[in-house]
Homo-oligomer: A and B are copies of this chain.
Amino acid sequence: MPIGLIGLDADDTLWHSETIFRLTHERFGALLADFADADTIEAKLAEVEHRNLALYGYGAKGFTLSMLETALEISNQQAPTHVIAEIVAAGREMMAHPVDPLPGVRDALETLAQTARLILITKGDLFHQEQKLAASGLGSLFHGVEIVSEKTADTYARAFARHGGRAEDAVMAGNSVRSDILPALAAGAHAALIPYPLVWAHEAAEAPADHPRYKELARLSDLPGWLDELRGNTR
């Protein structure tokens, strides 16, 4: 099989992201502890985030605005101004957070880039994702970058076509069954799930364990080995 294109998700595939969201959730819960218990706050934030997805899309700026709305609602507009200020500051810190590639990611990408074109395919905030790619130092390993508002089968078909390949000759690798695996398989591509210890509830979905073009890998450094199998190479 002539696999010539590899799509890679960014957040929680190449670098930590959900960890920072979770830490911010904890900080947010502590700030509002006078108004509700941790579970109530968490449930309200999830509800507000979900309601706002159609207005804000994905990303840290929309998440910050959702935290603010949650704080106002859960406190009946009684949250003191210093709490508001700390939420705004927490949002800024998420956006300015240093970006460190996960262990082994750079080496794996360098290996992969020797036999295929790498395309970063990520959803979220255009500006923040470009910033993170630049900060990661991995940008030069990618042949193309596609920042999209949703990941559908059509998104993948167009992204691979744009970079001169067919979905059938591409592999998509990422940590989200819902965004990286199912739509890439539906487009006709191969798909490798590389689980990250934390999954945002919105992204949870069941893995298609028996799908012939699907593979779960423990880490990105296992992807070159699967490529060898797909290409029918002996090692």
Could you list which residues of chain A lie within 8 angstroms of chain B, going by C-beta atoms?
A: 55-59, 61-62, 64-65, 68-69, 72, 75, 77-82, 84-85, 88, 91-92, 95-96, 125-128, 130, 147-149, 162
Indicate how many identical chains form the complex.
2
Query: Once the chains are docked, how many angstroms separate the CA of A84 from the CA of B78?
Result: 11
Q: Tell me the smallest distance from the CB of A68 to a CB of chain B, in Å.
A: 5
User: In the complex, what residues of B have CB within 8 A of residue A65's CB?
Assistant: 61, 64-65, 88, 91
Query: Once the chains are docked, how many angstroms separate the CA of A85 from the CA of B72?
Result: 7
Query: In the complex, which residue of chain B has the Cβ closest to the Cβ of A148?
Result: B126
User: In the complex, what residues of B have CB within 8 A of residue A61's CB?
Assistant: 56, 61-62, 65
Which residue in B77, B82, B149 is a CB contact (below 8 Å) of A77?
B82
Closest 8 CB pairs of A and B: A57-B127, A126-B126, A61-B61, A77-B81, A127-B149, A72-B85, A84-B84, A130-B149
Contact B88 A55 (CB under 8 A): no
User: In the complex, what residues of B have CB within 8 A of residue A55's CB?
Assistant: 92, 95-96
Query: In the complex, which residue of chain B has the Cβ closest to the Cβ of A62?
Result: B61
Report if A57-B162 is in contact (Cβ < 8 Å); known contacts: A77-B81, A77-B82: no
Contact B56 A69 (CB under 8 A): no
Contact A127 B58 (CB under 8 A): yes
